[in-house]
A and B are shown apart, each in its own frame.
Chain A
Amino acid sequence: MLNNLTTNFIGRLRCRDEAAWFELWETFGPVIRAQLSKWGKGRIGSETVRDLSQETLAALSNSIDTYDPSRGARFSTWLLAIAKHTLGDEIDRRMALKRGRGVKALNLEESWMYADHPGARSPDGEYEASVFRAKVEAAIRMVERNCDFTDFSIYRMRVLENVSGKDVAQRLGTSEPTVSRRLSKVRDMVRERLCEVIATYSFTEEEHAEAERNGLALNPTNADDALFDEAIAEIYHTQQALRRQDQASMME
């Protein structure tokens, strides 16, 4: 089932809204780079990985008009297919160069976007997991932007840095109940934004259920809060590790 936000985002991409493309790049860039590095198995350097990730988005921009979400494939899977195609093209080109002849770029196979295509069932579970983590990270970033700085600092210290409520209160010169109240406020905001982000970048029912599967109940009871915080913290730290890895490969 499609929703307005989804189609709006695709619409923005189709209208060549630079902010939408930047958003897409900011959110999924590290994931694509990580995936390309994994596929490259050390045969391609970090610079090439960066180039290929940009070429993936360029290829996406060329074919975004033909993308049809109603065919059922995930957007992320489609993106992965394009990345794979771009990498394959690069490897073909290199092999052709070694053989001393040119090679014509292949056409993008659009059957990837059909739900019944074997590739549409994600070929890489880890990739889908990292896409989901990227969505969560985007939601946290949105909260950081929209939330009061002190409130978010409390959330950051309490949830992401695992500082006790008492210590947070001491550091900020406030009381524990205040910390708890503000934390709850930010947590609610994170849930809201997570809903938005998942709706923005997801197309299928299966994707919508992804949050629940990862321990992020979007309509929780109070008992779920601790689990929710824990899941968010874990995802955040995993994503940070991915960023660090990305950064390290760039500094090589």
Chain B
Amino acid sequence: MQILFAMLAAAAAIALLVVVVVFIVAPAFKLIGMAFAHVFRFIGGVIGDSLRAVGAVITMAVFVPFVILNIIIGRWSAAGHFGRSIQEECHAFGRSLYRVFLGHPARLLLLRPMLEGVEQRVPQAMAQVPGADKPSRKTGSFEGYRIVGSLPTGGSGAKLYIAEPDERRVAAFARQGAPGIDRVIIKSFSLKDGSSLPQIIRESRALEAAKKIGLVLEHELTEHRFHYVMPYVPGESLGVVGHRLHDDAGAQGLDDRRMREALGYVADLLQTIAVYHRAGLWHKDIKPDNIIVSEGRAHLVDLGLVTPLRSAMTLTTHGTEYFRDPEMVRMALKGVKVHEVDGAKFDVYATGAVLYSLVENQFPAHGGMSLLNKRCPEAVRWIVRRSMAEYNQRYTSAQEMHADLQAVLGADDLYNLMPADLPSVKGGVDASAHDDPDLDEATRVIAAGTPAPPVAEPAAERVAPVAPPPSPRAPQERGKPRLSLVNWWTGSYAPERGRPAPAAPTPEMDEGADGWRPWREGAAEPLIDKAIPRGQRPSAEAQLRHARQRASAARQRAQHARMKARHVRRSRDRHSRQLNSGVGVALFIFLAATVGGAFALVNSAMNNKQAGVTVDNDALAATVDTEAGMETIQTLLGDLKNLGGLRGMHGQVVEALADAGIYDEEQGILRFEDEGNTITVKAPEWLKVDDRVAATDPGAPPAALQPADLGAVLVLNSLGESADDASNAVIEAGLAKLRTLGYQVVGPGGTDEDIALTGEALHEIGLGAADDSATIERLKAWLAGEGQELQGLVWISKDKPIESPLVLMHSRKDERRVERLFRPVR
């Protein structure tokens, strides 16, 4: 029994042990291990990033000479390339520092979420900062406007200013039909600010037409600058508004009220683009960021890509991805001309994409095939699908889409309206679609530059099926006229008579009473009429020659275009010739290094550092490099002679040369060791004049070495006769140096005036010691007193070593200089 109990107890103990190990010890060790790993990760991170920072600096230092060299030889693109590399290194350096000083410590203290994304958010905010509030001097001012602010620069690189027009301009706008404009946007392209001519041409292409419908108030092109003025619409972008609607509505999608609000914005947008299309323009860059919601209405802004519908230019791929019709890209890649397609349909596609993004709160990543996952009425789904359908399947006009949208907005319950109830599905669009009072109102509103009241007309009253607007030019009407053989014997051909030519545009068709212009359908010229009658045709040989010439010209044009495109690409890519901030950094480093080097050189010259001999004016000491060759020493001696700044240093130089075994004073020769040979030359005459002696005898030194008069210094020697010979020698040497430096030494052994000065000084000293601050203060006050002509005072006291007597001078620099005079010369 006991054994059983013992076994049970042992089993229980083992179980307890296991539990403790599994649930306490193991987690504790794990925790400790994690803590260690955490700390080691911190240390490793700091070391790694520090090394990265050092590496970035070294790499920058390597690149700087390349930048300078390339600038010197005029290779701007290469300089720009190295500049960009420096820029990247600067960024790497900054990031490394950020991580070393903030990122890793924050991670160590488990505060990482606090700084999460700061590296991205800060640069992003910096990039979005508006430009200068005033135009630069290069850009110049805008006559008749007062600049009050600016907007962030867009993709075109143009400067955007908010301005207030003066009274004259306001009156001019009112005469144009746009009264009450108090603020405008000025979009300015300046060749001096980096804009290019193609940009200016593209922007200016549709301006006259835009001015007619009030989108542009004024524009001006000068030699270096192009700008145009638009009404200012303050507000938020539709993207921001859409996100907010979804934030308020929740994850399920927009509720009825918010859905109506969103649809209302799209209806406004459709009204606006219908006006564009009527004026023969298409916007080409419709997206939520280009739609401003102000006072409950959506306004389309940014005329950067506005293009005439009848433009003869080749279609380009400009626009914003996901809001740009993929079909347009395909057409552009095929080289289709703008007038060969219906640009209005691309705007309709973009409007559908905007509607999709409002409903789904994300952009249509899959074009017309994108799924609608959030809550959405069936009729709205249909409208989105239809507007984003294939080019030939989608709404033919903004009016048609607007009619469908109005039908949805007019429904009592959005979710009860089915696609079958939409005007476009029922067999036609609103009769007033081409004569829509809303659209006319929109035209007027845009022209006036003021918001229009919201449209609240029930759709049911307005819907009446009519024939849809004529579709663009039918494909079968395009191409060459069909020819038929008229004479089997001669083999002659003639244009087929049975096929009617497209009707030429009539005045009625050209512009109806409602403003609708079906000229696009009638625009195709009847090619059949172009056939040249027989007899007037050039010979086959001539035709062939002309054809070859045309083909050759076309090839040349294509080659030219390719080269131009390549050039443009090159100028945009990394090898662009534009210099960048990296080049600026390189120049700064170079200049700093140059200035620093020059400063060091000047400083060296100030200290009279020459090859072979170092002369320190402050310490009044000279050292000689005995390894220096003869020529160097000779050159040096010549320099020393000419150096006016060597006042009084003659003795030290001679002494140093003598100590080094170069100068033999007695024989008056200089002796050098040059490549193993001893060379002896006669010492120059000026070197033989010893101004140490001259200093003790004021009359002796030659004029060239005459020290300057720096004023009188009172010397008090408290040692008196108690000083030994060595101390006396140091004192004498110090006083000699003081004299050679240019000071007049005065003391108790001089004139009566000197004795009086000594008495005054001793009176100030009283019983004080040289290291007593009160005594020093009294002496200073006495020296600075009125009428005092002394430049300073040297007190050789028993309280201080002889090598460092108390020295009080008017300037701190002189004080240090005199203090050093009493140190033994090496």
B419 contacts A141, C-beta separation under 8 Å: no
- Assess whether B390 is interfacial by the CB under 8 Å rule: yes
A23 to chain B, nearest CB (A): 8
B326 contacts A26, C-beta separation under 8 Å: yes
A118 to chain B, nearest CB (A): 35
Contacts of A26 in B (CB 8 A): 326
A172 contacts B425, C-beta separation under 8 Å: yes
Q: Assuming the A-B contacts A170-B418, A171-B420, are A149 and B386 also in contact, with contact meaning beta carbons closer than 8 angstroms in the complex?
A: yes
**What 1/0 mask marks residues of chain B from 379 to 394 whose CB sits below 8 Å from any chain A CB?**
0001001100110011
B420 contacts A153, C-beta separation under 8 Å: no
Contacts of B362 in A (CB 8 A): 247, 251
What residue in chain A is nearest B390 (Cβ atoms)?
A: A145
- Assess whether A98 is interfacial by the CB under 8 Å rule: yes
B369 contacts A141, C-beta separation under 8 Å: yes
- Assess whether A206 is interfacial by the CB under 8 Å rule: no
B369 contacts A19, C-beta separation under 8 Å: no
- Assess whether A144 is interfacial by the CB under 8 Å rule: yes
A144 contacts B418, C-beta separation under 8 Å: no
Contacts of A246 in B (CB 8 A): 365
Contacts of B202 in A (CB 8 A): none
What residue in chain B is nearest A250 (Cβ atoms)?
A: B365
> Which chain A residues (162-185) contact chain B, with CB distance < 8 Å?
170-174
A153 to B362: give the CA distance in the assembly, Å. 22
What residue in chain A is nearest B329 (Cβ atoms)?
A: A22
Contacts of B425 in A (CB 8 A): 150, 172-173
A244 contacts B369, C-beta separation under 8 Å: no
B453 to chain A, nearest CB (A): 34
- Assess whether A219 is interfacial by the CB under 8 Å rule: no
B382 contacts A140, C-beta separation under 8 Å: no
A19 contacts B333, C-beta separation under 8 Å: yes
- Assess whether A240 is interfacial by the CB under 8 Å rule: yes
A243 to B389: give the CA distance in the assembly, Å. 19
B363 contacts A247, C-beta separation under 8 Å: yes
A173 contacts B369, C-beta separation under 8 Å: no
- Assess whether B330 is interfacial by the CB under 8 Å rule: yes
Q: Assuming the A-B contacts A19-B333, A171-B378, are A149 and B420 also in contact, with contact meaning beta carbons closer than 8 angstroms in the complex?
A: no
Pick from A18, A140, A149: contact of B389, CB under 8 Å: A149
Tally of contact residues, B, Cβ under 8 A? 31
A140 to B368: give the CA distance in the assembly, Å. 11
A100 contacts B59, C-beta separation under 8 Å: yes
> Which chain B residues (35-63) contact chain A, with CB distance < 8 Å?
52, 55, 58-59
- Assess whether B192 is interfacial by the CB under 8 Å rule: no
- Assess whether B534 is interfacial by the CB under 8 Å rule: no
A214 to B265: give the CA distance in the assembly, Å. 44
Q: Assuming the A-B contacts A22-B333, A149-B389, are A173 and B59 also in contact, with contact meaning beta carbons closer than 8 angstroms in the complex?
A: no
A57 to chain B, nearest CB (A): 14
- Assess whether A156 is interfacial by the CB under 8 Å rule: yes
> Which chain A residues (1-37) contact chain B, with CB distance < 8 Å?
18-19, 22, 26
Contacts of A173 in B (CB 8 A): 418-421, 425
A199 to chain B, nearest CB (A): 21
B62 to chain A, nearest CB (A): 10
B644 to chain A, nearest CB (A): 51
Contacts of B326 in A (CB 8 A): 26
What residue in chain A is nearest B366 (Cβ atoms)?
A: A243
- Assess whether B334 is interfacial by the CB under 8 Å rule: yes
A90 to chain B, nearest CB (A): 15
- Assess whether B371 is interfacial by the CB under 8 Å rule: yes
A100 contacts B365, C-beta separation under 8 Å: no
A52 to B59: give the CA distance in the assembly, Å. 26
**What 1/0 mask marks residues of chain A from 107 to 151 whose CB sits below 8 Å from any chain B CB?**
000000000000000000000000000000100110011101110
A152 to B390: give the CA distance in the assembly, Å. 11
Contacts of A170 in B (CB 8 A): 418, 420
A251 to B329: give the CA distance in the assembly, Å. 23
Contacts of B365 in A (CB 8 A): 243-244, 246-247
A51 to B59: give the CA distance in the assembly, Å. 25
What residue in chain A is nearest B371 (Cβ atoms)?
A: A240
A237 to B373: give the CA distance in the assembly, Å. 11
Contacts of A148 in B (CB 8 A): 393
B369 contacts A144, C-beta separation under 8 Å: yes
B352 to chain A, nearest CB (A): 13
Contacts of A22 in B (CB 8 A): 329-330, 333
B419 contacts A171, C-beta separation under 8 Å: yes
What residue in chain B is nearest A100 (Cβ atoms)?
A: B55
A87 to B333: give the CA distance in the assembly, Å. 29
A173 to B382: give the CA distance in the assembly, Å. 13
B196 to chain A, nearest CB (A): 24
A156 contacts B385, C-beta separation under 8 Å: yes
A246 to B363: give the CA distance in the assembly, Å. 12
B390 contacts A144, C-beta separation under 8 Å: yes
B654 to chain A, nearest CB (A): 54
| Interchain residue pairs with CB less than 8 A apart (12) | A19-B333, A19-B334, A141-B367, A146-B390, A148-B393, A149-B386, A152-B389, A170-B420, A171-B420, A173-B419, A244-B365, A251-B362
Q: Which residues of B contact A (CB under 8 A)?
A: 52, 55, 58-59, 326, 329-330, 333-334, 362-363, 365-371, 378, 382, 385-386, 389-390, 393-394, 418-421, 425
Q: A22-B329, A247-B363 are in contact. List 11 more A-B contacts (CB 8 A).
A: A22-B330, A100-B55, A140-B369, A141-B369, A144-B389, A146-B390, A149-B394, A150-B425, A156-B385, A173-B418, A173-B425
